[in-house]
Amino acid sequence: MGVGYDVHPFSADGSTVLVLGGVVFPGEPGLSGHSDADVAAHAVADAILGAAGLGDIGMHFSDQDERWKDANSIELLARVAELVREVGLKLVNADCTVVCERPRLVGSRKEMMENLSVAAGGPVHVKATRPERLGALGRQEGIACMAVALLEEVSA
């Protein structure tokens, strides 16, 4: 079992798009990051890597490496799933909670779950909660996501 967490601030660059769980949210401010800053994909990837004992997303996709500049985080999650399969493990399930005042995720959760599940190689559930105007997330300075993942050995 592994736990993942990611947080990114909103970008001051008005041309950045918001991507969560591989879904683009038009009209919403984007997040600042080296990749597309998809906190849901990053948190799930970290949870999976942790469960496999394979470090964290920064070890595999460093923000100091230009290869990952503007990378699609769903593709990074798919690569994490490959790494896990290479060591004889597979995802049983993952659960993540996105923490933000906006956007409302209710209309996009199904698509987010589908995108994350396909990339991760197993079921990923997505929930959302609001920070109720408390702290940096409540002031809409960014978005965070927490995730847990359960892996099992692949039978030969």
- DSSP letters spanning 94-119: EEEEEE-SSS--TTTHHHHHHHHHHH
| Domain boundary assignment for the chain | 2-153
pLDDT of residue 54: 97
What is the pLDDT of the chain when averaged over all its residues? 95
Residue 13 has pLDDT above 90, yes or no: no
Q: Is 58 helix (H, G, I), strand (E, B) or coil?
A: helix
In the CATH scheme, what is the homologous superfamily, with its name and number, of domain 2-153?
A: 2-C-methyl-D-erythritol 2,4-cyclodiphosphate synthase (3.30.1330.50)
Condensed to tens digits (0 to 9), the pLDDT of residues 122-132 reads 999 999 999 99
Distance from C-alpha of 35 to C-alpha of 92, rounded to nearest angstrom: 27
Q: Residue 51: how many CA atoms within 13 Å on its side-chain side? A: 29
Spatial contact of 18 and 25, defined as CB atoms under 8 Å apart: yes
In sign, the C-alpha dihedral spanning 38, 41, 47, 48 is negative
Condensed to tens digits (0 to 9), the pLDDT of residues 37-87 reads 999 999 999 999 999 999 999 999 988 888 888 889 999 999 999 999 999
Percent of all residues in the chain with a pLDDT value above 70, rounded to a whole number: 99
Q: How many CB atoms lie within 10 A of CB 66?
A: 9
